[in-house]
Structure 1
């Protein structure tokens, strides 16, 4: 297996995380994409964030080149930061990405699918803040 950056989309809603995952795959140009997984809501299906779901998704997409975690709102940031502070919770090279959720997810997936390393994936996702819509 070739080392590749994995991506986890952390949302307070399972439906939002899943929908953005589908959207990113669809806009990534077709064909094979880097591994991407949603981690949304709580295990019971409610709104919120779940450390267990985030950890499981991160390990699912880990291909040895790091894992980029994109989040939707404030407490998701806090949950991911807490996991990053814990030793052995997330795969080595896991990183919280400061990026807009939808645009950042697409940019991250396109870059990772093209073979970009973790720094390139983080930069591409973060650059999505500068996308103008006017």
Structure 2
């Protein structure tokens, strides 16, 4: 993977402000230099709590640069919404993938790895590895 076709990251939360805050945190912790594209897809179009296939599809299209799109989700129905979009086949860019990872730690690891030029497999592995981060 080259940096001209980075992996895009979409953060799907039931809350728009939560998705935006996690995206901001990931950008800040990923440090200087060029960052891979990251977009928040949180809540419903009217600003309520929930998930929106339209917002998720739009965010995925926004970050798609040809290197694939990693979708990280917070809770149950966000998982179901992304799985449905992936099953439909034409709602998300080619190479879009649901990543099983903790939402915050996984988002940071995914963005750092994508920004360093990692391909979709490396981004998924880094985000998933965040499950092993110990806090005690």
Question: What TM bracket, shorter-length normalisation?
Answer: over 0.9
Q: TM-score, normalised by structure 2?
A: 0.97
Partner Cα separation in structure 2 for residue 35 and residue 68 of structure 1: 11
**Aligned counterpart, 1:126:** 128
Partner Cα separation in structure 2 for residue 118 and residue 5 of structure 1: 6
2:76 to 64, 70, 74: 74
- Residue deviations 1:51-74 (CA, integer Å, cap 9, x gap): 000000000000001000000000
Partner Cα separation in structure 1 for residue 120 and residue 93 of structure 2: 13
Structure 1 residue 31, shift from structure 2 partner: 2.4
Runs of 4+ deviating beyond 3 Å:
none
RMSD over aligned Cα, in angstroms? 0.8
**Aligned counterpart, 1:115:** 117
Paired residues for 1:10-89 under 5 Å: 10-89=12-91
Q: Which runs of 5+ in 2 are unaligned?
A: none
Q: Indicate the SS of the match to 2:32.
A: coil
Partner Cα separation in structure 1 for residue 90 and residue 30 of structure 2: 31
Q: Which runs of 5+ in 1 are unaligned?
A: none
Structure 1 residue 30, shift from structure 2 partner: 1.9
Structure 1 residue 117, shift from structure 2 partner: 0.1
